[in-house]
Amino acid sequence: MVEIAPSILSADFARLGEQMAALKEAGVRIIHVDVMDGHFAPNLTVGPPVVAALRQATDLRLDCHLMIAEPDRYLDAFVAAGADMISVHQEACVHLARTLNAIRAAKVEAGAVLNPATPVLMLTEVLPLVDYVLLMSVNPGFGGQKFIPGTLNKIRQLNTLRAAQKLNFSIEVDGGIGLENIGEVVRAGVDIVVAGASIFHTPNPKEAVMQLRRAASLASTAKG
C-alpha cells in the first residue's frame, strides 16, 4: 500500500494537533517534517522542539527531512525529540555512509535524499544502508512548487537498482504532487508520497488525503 505522508510545511500551525488527529482518521500513518536552516535550503522552518511537541500530540510516525548543512551535528537532537525516520541529503553529507550508520545505530529509520539535479547513481554505494530514499521532485525551500517531470525517470532508475541489488528500501517522493499526477509517480514505483499544499491548502485536508489515497490505490492496482 502506498503511504501518503502529509507535509506540515503547508499546515496551519495554530491547529496542528487538530489536523494531526483528522489526518490519522483519514488513514495517515506518516507525518513529513521539513527541517530547513536557511543555508542548505533558502528558508527557515522547524527544529527539534517542534518535533518534540508533535511527538506529544500524535503517535503517527514522524519523518524528519533534514534540509540542513552539517546534519550530523543535529542527529542526536532529532532522535531525542522523537523522530521515527530521519533523512539527510547526499549533497550535504561529507561522509554519507557514516551518517546513515549513525541514524540506524540510534534505532531510527535512515533515509538518503537527492535534489532534482543530483543523479540516482550518486547513491549506488550506500543503498544497502538505507531504509528509504527520498527523491525531491521540486527544488528544496518552499511548498507549492510544480512537480519536475524528470523525477519520474529517477524513480524508475531507483526502482531498477533496488530490484537488481535485491534490496527492500522504500522510495519516497516529495514536491508538487496532487490528484493530477499521483498516479504517475505510483506507477513509476513510489512507496511513500509526500504532499503538502494539495492537502493543507484545501477546504478539507482529511478529504484531500482520502482522495489521494484512492488515486494511489487505483494506480497501484493498475501497476500490478
Taking only the tens place, the pLDDT of each residue in 89-100 is 999 999 999 999
Q: Name the pairing type of β-strands 132-136 and 109-114.
A: parallel
3-state SS class at 55: helix
Q: Hey, which residues are catalytic here?
A: 34, 174
C-alpha cell at 171: 522510495
Query: pLDDT class for 1, splitting at 50, 70, 90?
Result: confident
* Of 47, 51, 86, 50, residue with least CA distance to 65: 86
What pLDDT digit, counting tens, does each position of 103-133 carry? 999 999 999 999 999 999 999 999 999 999 9
Residue 223: its pLDDT value, please?
Answer: 67
224 pLDDT tier (thresholds 50, 70, 90): low
pTM for the predicted model, two decimal places: 0.94
Bridge partners of 67?
36
